[in-house]
Structure 1
Amino acid sequence: MAQKEDSKYYKEALEEYKELCNDEEDVWDKRINDTGCYVENMALQLCHADTNDWRQCLGEMALFRKCWDQKGNRERVSTVDK
């Protein structure tokens, strides 16, 4: 299982998130932040942007999925699949 401390993208995303908290949040950032998984989402995006290959971002994807499930987002968006 991937660990947050093992991901350079997670560390970079955490720094970006800290800066974001000091700035005015735009609508998109607010929606992502409300999921409780902003840093994990950003880490996944940074990894993909850097590698251009989702397969190289499986650790970041696992961290995002774990966060998503732990924060109850699957239930929150369950109406999307109906």
Structure 2
Amino acid sequence: MSSSDERLQSPYYKEALDQYKELTQEEDPDAWDARISKTGCYVENLALQLCHAETNDWRQCLKEMGFFKQCWDSKGNKDRVKTVDR
């Protein structure tokens, strides 16, 4: 099973994908949505949030957390959050 097929097995991912499709139709998304969308991982981020909101237990969201981490790494986002030692 490919990773995209596996993601579609998650009800949270499916719901997040639907919400993302609606967001892309908006002419003026809010600043937070625009910022997250630029990471390329909006759907994975939202799926993780939806899972946690419903279950109130991160341990039940490990699959969604894995999808987010995989996306984050594949899009090169580690470089976006580097900090500078002072």
Q: Which runs of 5 or more residues in structure 1 are unaligned?
A: none
Segment of structure 1 superposing worse, 19-28 or 58-67: 19-28
* Aligned-pair CA distance for 1:6: 1.5
Shift of 1:42: 0.3
Deviations 1:28-78 (A, max 9, x none): 001100000000000000000110111000000000000000000001211
AA in 2 matched with 1:30 = A
Structure 2 counterpart of 1:13 = 16
2:28 paired with 1:27: no
Residue aligning to 1:56: 60
Letter aligned with residue 9 of structure 1 = Y
Q: CA shift at 1:5, angstroms?
A: 1.6
- Among 76, 80, 85, the alignment partner of 1:72 is 76
TM-score normalised to structure 1 length: 0.91
Q: CA RMSD in A?
A: 1.3
Question: Percentage identity across aligned positions?
Answer: 62
Q: Report runs of 4+ in structure 1 exceeding 2 Å deviation.
A: none
Of the two structures, which has the highest relative contact order with CA contacts closer than 8 Å and spacing of 6 or more? 1
Which of 1 and 2 has greater Rg? 2
Which structure features the higher share of helix residues? 1
TM norm structure 2: 0.87
Distance 2:79 2:32 in 1: 20
